[in-house]
Amino acid sequence: MHAEDEMHDEILPLLPDPDDGAPWQAPALREQRLYELCRRDEAGEERAHYEYLRAVAVEGLYRPVTLPAAEGSEGAAPLTIMTLEDGRRVVPAYTVGVLPRPHPEVVYEFTTLGGLDVLWPDDVDILLVNGGTPCARWFLADGDEREVWRDLHAELYEPDGTCDRVETRWTGAPEDEAVLRGLACGAHLCYANGDAWNTLNWHGAGYANEAEGLSDDWGVEDRDDWLRTQERLLRCEVSAWQWHFVLDVRNLLARETRSARIDPVAWRDHVETAFRAQAGEAEAADLDAHVSILRELVGEVMRYEARFRADALLPPDGYVRSVAAWDLGRASMVARRGRGARYATQAELRDAVERAGHGARAAYGSWAEFSAGYVLGRCLHFDEETFGDWYTTVLEAHRVLMTHPESPWATIPLH
């Protein structure tokens, strides 16, 4: 995809020091820590250089690759090499916070110190981390040094080690409230993956990983697949219609009775009556089977809501009015992943997250309600009333996101 409005000159990061000598404002906490280690290194603190390398070993890095080289390489395209004026050869790599906006001809692949060692050519002398920024550092790449890389990778890197945290960009985030609201719809997934929630400059887990994830999770193999999936999510057509049906019936009863306490028998009976009226001339056996499923679903929803109240996911008299959040939250993330895989333009990403935010405002009165709807959808989809990891992990995410000072839900109002 090479739309003219996608072309720009920001291929490699360039974040200069302030002209007035003021301290540099790092994009995020990760880069702030590296910046502080650079200052300590320059001041002669012996371990600062090594501590910087240890931090890189934990977090991983992103390396630039031309799109033609990256396509089909499964993340194993050769390292990009730059030659300095003195003839030394350098491999550039970056932490995620300094990466520029996605480019149509250059992508960034996630890597680790161990991954760099595997791909490293023997005639390259230097690893340059975060070049073009105030938190840049050089590392020799001879045999002894790369043995250190391997040791640090084995000691410190964990594939899920940076997950389950609130990550917020301090600079370079969009300012439009509608965009931020749509990005905040993906808070559960950003927390689970340890991704910055408030950025449109999306690289995610790296180009190959984003494309592979869309393929594995959604069957998305190209731009047309992404467009279809994105639209279905934004229309809340991916989640099961039965979930929406039984909740809509209860919402109608609640409005008619002006009460949040709906008798379970009345709810089931109204679900059956409404469905039979809509089904028309369907075969009796098929009709009875669908009615049985819907009546059982009412009980399943009620049992989940009872657990939600016990865990303070819902207030004592609360119930879930909509599971639209399950589709809208995923829509917010699939939009970003589509950008990372270069299936989506920047304009399409922005439009998709704005639509997700509009949908959330229409369906919910608060982020707490949105979150409960998302959790119920996730549980109905995956959990099968086991109250296992599919529930407990997202419950923990909910609790953090409702209380963390840098949570998207503390940053941007739903209404």
Does residue 169 lie in a domain region? no
pLDDT the model gives residue 191:
98
Closest CA to 32 of 190, 140, 163, 171: 171
Contacts of 307 (CB under 8 A, 6+ apart): 387, 391
CA-CA distance, 126 to 92, in Å (whole number)?
9
pLDDT the model gives residue 284:
66
- Alpha helical stretches, state H, 86-164: 113-119, 143-156
Overall domain count for the chain: 3
Does residue 161 lie in a domain region? no
- Kindly tell me if the per-residue pLDDT of 2 is higher than 50: no
Percent of the chain with pLDDT strictly greater than 70: 98
Indicate whether 301 and 343 sit together in one domain: no
Indicate whether 18 and 82 sit together in one domain: yes
Indicate whether 149 and 185 sit together in one domain: no
Residue at which a domain ends, from 258, 288, 310: 310
Mean pLDDT of the residues in the chain: 95
Indicate whether 92 and 26 sit together in one domain: yes
pLDDT in tens, 195-207: 999 999 999 999 9
- Residue 72, number of CB atoms within 10 A of its CB: 10
Indicate whether 131 and 202 sit together in one domain: no
DSSP 3-state of 205: coil
pLDDT band at 33; cut points 50, 70, 90: very high
- Kindly tell me if the per-residue pLDDT of 356 is higher than 80: yes
Does residue 281 lie in a domain region? yes
Indicate whether 188 and 276 sit together in one domain: no
pLDDT in tens, 86-143: 888 999 999 999 999 999 999 999 999 999 999 999 999 999 999 999 999 999 999 9
Q: Is 211 exposed, middle or buried (0-12, 13-18, 19+ CB in 10 A)?
A: buried
Indicate whether 104 and 219 sit together in one domain: no
Residue 59 in tokens? 């977090």
Residue 183: domain span: 177-238+324-411
Indicate whether 260 and 354 sit together in one domain: no
Indicate whether 256 and 291 sit together in one domain: yes
Indicate whether 38 and 182 sit together in one domain: no
Residue 189 in tokens? 């997934």
CA-CA distance, 332 to 184, in Å (whole number)?
8
Contacts of 411 (CB under 8 A, 6+ apart): 168, 180, 184, 198
- Kindly tell me if the per-residue pLDDT of 3 is higher than 60: no
Indicate whether 213 and 298 sit together in one domain: no
pLDDT band at 285; cut points 50, 70, 90: low
Residue at which a domain ends, from 251, 282, 310: 310
Does residue 59 lie in a domain region? yes
Q: Is 61 exposed, middle or buried (0-12, 13-18, 19+ CB in 10 A)?
A: buried
Indicate whether 381 and 302 sit together in one domain: no
pLDDT in tens, 38-68: 999 999 998 999 999 999 999 999 999 999 9
